[in-house]
Structure 1
């Protein structure tokens, strides 16, 4: 209710004639229609064509040089039951499905000298590496499509102080936002063919009530940039518990799948070192937990980045070292992309055209995925994009389990 009231107040301020004269107002938005075509049916999901529609509008109001308000709204539709049916305004992004009408952001930014404070629903990103970012703990994602996730906003306060090449950052979130996991009856919940006869039921999620906090210090020098961070909160990716579900007398077996989000602490660092040939980037985080069913481990990434002409190349290795193995089943795409060679490349063909490539190959060869994308704009408003994703590997591998999900996607966007 507080978020709705704030949105109405902001709208009233924008609509006021006197306010229009005194403040700077900008907006951006788009409507995007996409079509997914999958190469084959999945054991638990025979649908091979999925249509998706997203309309987004964002408004930025700057009533003074030191103050800015930002508000964003999403409207969605989907042909494969990935969007809620109701039109209730969703402000928390805690639902199993994407909201039909969702508050993307609603925040105020105050800047006074070296101090900047962001309060409200916002996006907070930490880290320097690509594809896998171990220190990025305030950035839950929408994993209804595991290989193409969207970031979700979080509600809280972020303060930043800059002083003589140093940046000090503190974040506090009073309310937990989990990542959105794949739906049980759809292809991104990978079910082995032998288990498709056993129904899966949602055993619900147990969301933690506590707050989350983190601090980060970064330093920009003449030769190197580096930072250190600490996070105390909850993993936005769940531990998964699968148990027999009660069924009517005479009915076959069924399984209930429930999710918990353990408390964790992470200690992280990242660095970037430019050289004459390329930029070396490294990032690592140690994950520790007091929970008896949560692993303790280190995620790390070392990558090289080079820009030459219109090309940008990124390539490196993402690794994992488990120091205490306690959990039997987790949904963890960040860990699933480790112990792998990761790469990304993009080329700007001209003012209106570009191509991009991305991929990851597990070091044991058990799983791999690659993506290719071509995008072309026409005029100031229209852009068409076509992409293809190929996935292969063994059922036992995080990437390989999605080998039936290779697909192409075509989308058309109108920006306004």
Structure 2
């Protein structure tokens, strides 16, 4: 009986944390006067390994928020398709099977591709939560990933039967920028038109003597939306608006937006070459689409990375080349951060304290973003983090439009 108890204890492990976070914005936004926002997150992760070749893993999130960024309904969310963050959600639920050089992950999981920092053009199975555009966490997708690693070659295949979009900023809050003269006009979110098809991807990687590279292919949908602005003369639009907006009526002006997610194909490549002084990294993605309202373009990143002492420093250039331009209104942070000098650095002060910095500066100087973060642990359970974010620039630039959203944040986390 004692042996059985010890075996069970080793097979089942768990971890988690409770984190409270406050954000303070010095300026009001034209459509959002709120300057202080509070967040609370409880996360519990459990791992079960009944046999050496199988592991089951799951994570549960519980959330609360002071600024209506969390769905008020008490239901267990499984697909991360809601406009607001769910009150309770399954963050991850995965079965991992390993046999020799083969690994299969099935279920809700995080899939990351690419080697660059800050911007990853080939990272197509990685939707994000852009409720806060400059602090966007990743969302899991539901599907199957198989990996075969034979000597220096790695082949990865992904199949996702159900599309997961990125969560975009709420229409009535500061990360949806509204021109000052249009701020009094109500904005109505008419929801999303989500595609029904499956997504697939292949990635082949090679590790050589002093270098590594990979090639990838993605066939699916852009997790970042095109934005359709509906006319108030449409009877269906008026009906939808009046249901969701108490200030809207057929006789008063308002703006109705709807999100669509175009089909795309992406051809990608990434590489890393260590040298004596630094590591060279590059990543490129070519995006094509049959949609008449979606551009075709190339995103690329070139950077150098160096570790010296307790410093890790990376910097480079993120660029874009449009091959086919089509009329479209989009929400595209990946493209909005290109044509920029990008940098990231971290410094480990000691085992309990660290500093981190991140920045992006548009080449025309119309938009700048910078973040500095200090984190300190106290004992095995407590950690505090202070963050300062500065955004400046012109209103017609993707980064510059958020010039009223500079802020400071403080978080306290208890891990268990």
Deviations 1:311-349 (A, max 9, x none): 000000000000011132100000000000000111000
Tell me how far apart the structure 1 counterparts of residues 5 and 262 of structure 2 sit (CA, whole Å).
50
Q: Distance in 1 between matches of 2:37 and 2:91?
A: 23
**Match for residue 324 of structure 2?**
324
In structure 2, the residue matched to 1:361 is 361
Structure 1, residues 59-92: CA drift from partner, whole Å, max 9, x if none?
Answer: 0111111000001000000000000111100000
Note closer, same or farther for the CA distance 1:244–1:24 as it changes in structure 2 (3 Å cut). Answer: same
State the shift of 1:126 in Å: 0.2
Residue among 171, 177, 202 paired with 2:164: 177
Task: Please point out which of 226, 240, 244 is paired with 2:231.
Answer: 244
**1:74 match:** 61
Deviation at residue 137 of structure 1 after TM alignment: 0.2
TM-score, normalised with respect to structure 2: 0.94
Matched residue, 2:47 = 60
How far is 1:24 from its partner? 1.4
Q: Which residue of the other structure, out of 214, 221, 225, is the alignment partner of 2:212?
A: 225
**CA positional deviation for 1:22:** 8.0
Asked if structure 2 preserves the Cα contact closer than 8 Å seen for 1:266 and 1:287, the reply is yes
Deviations 1:148-179 (A, max 9, x none): 10100100000000011000000000000000
Match of 2:32 in 1: 45
Alpha-carbon distance between aligned partners in 1 of 2:97 and 2:360, rounded to the nearest angstrom: 40
Matches within 5 A, 1:105-184: 105-184=92-171
For the 8 Å contact 1:123–1:154, the answer to whether it is kept is: yes
Equivalent residues of 1:225, 1:273 under 8 A apart? yes
Deviation at 1:250, TM superposition (A): 7.3
Selected match of 1:186 from 142, 149, 173: 173
SS in 1 for 2:350: coil
Q: Distance in 1 between the 2:7 and 2:308 partners?
A: 45
2:95 alignment partner, SS class:
strand
Aligned to 1:340: 340
Q: Matches of 2:189 and 2:351 in 1, distance apart?
A: 48
Measured after TM superposition, the shift of residue 39 of structure 1 is 1.1
- Cα distance in structure 2, aligned partners of 1:244 and 1:292: 20
Query: What corresponds to 1:382 in structure 2?
Result: 382
**How many residues are paired up?**
400
CA distance in 2, matches of 1:382, 1:350: 16
SS in 1 for 2:201: strand
**Aligned partners of 1:253, 1:180: CA distance in 2, in Å?**
27
Which is worse superposed, 239-248 or 79-88?
239-248
- C-alpha RMSD of the superposition: 1.3
Q: Measure the CA separation in 1 of the matches of 2:249 and 2:285.
A: 49
Deviations 1:254-312 (A, max 9, x none): 11100000000000000000000000000000000011111000000000000000000
TM-score by length of 1: 0.94
1:348 and 1:261, CA in 2 relative to 1: closer, same or farther beyond 3 A?
same
The 3-state SS of whatever aligns with 1:404 is coil
User: What secondary structure is seen at the aligned counterpart in 1 of 2:354?
Assistant: strand
State the secondary structure of the residue aligned to 1:297: strand
Listed one character per residue, the Cα deviations across residues 208-242 of structure 1 (whole Å, up to 9, x for unaligned) are: 00000000000011111000000000000000011
| Aligned 8 A contact 1:244 1:254 in 2 | no
Residue by residue over 1:92-143, the C-alpha shift from the partner in whole angstroms, topping out at 9 and shown as x without a partner, is: 0000000000000111000000000000000000000000000000000000
Change in Cα spacing, 1:353 to 1:18, as seen in structure 2 (3 Å) is closer
- Secondary structure class of the residue paired with 2:162: coil
2:402 matches 1:402: yes
Query: Hey, what's the Cα distance between the residues in 2 that align with 1:386 and 1:21?
Result: 40
Ranges in structure 1 where 5+ consecutive residues have no aligned partner? 1-16
User: Secondary structure in 2 aligned to 1:273?
Assistant: strand
Name the residue aligned to 2:235.
Answer: none
Whether the 8 Å CA contact 1:354–1:374 is kept in 2: the answer is yes
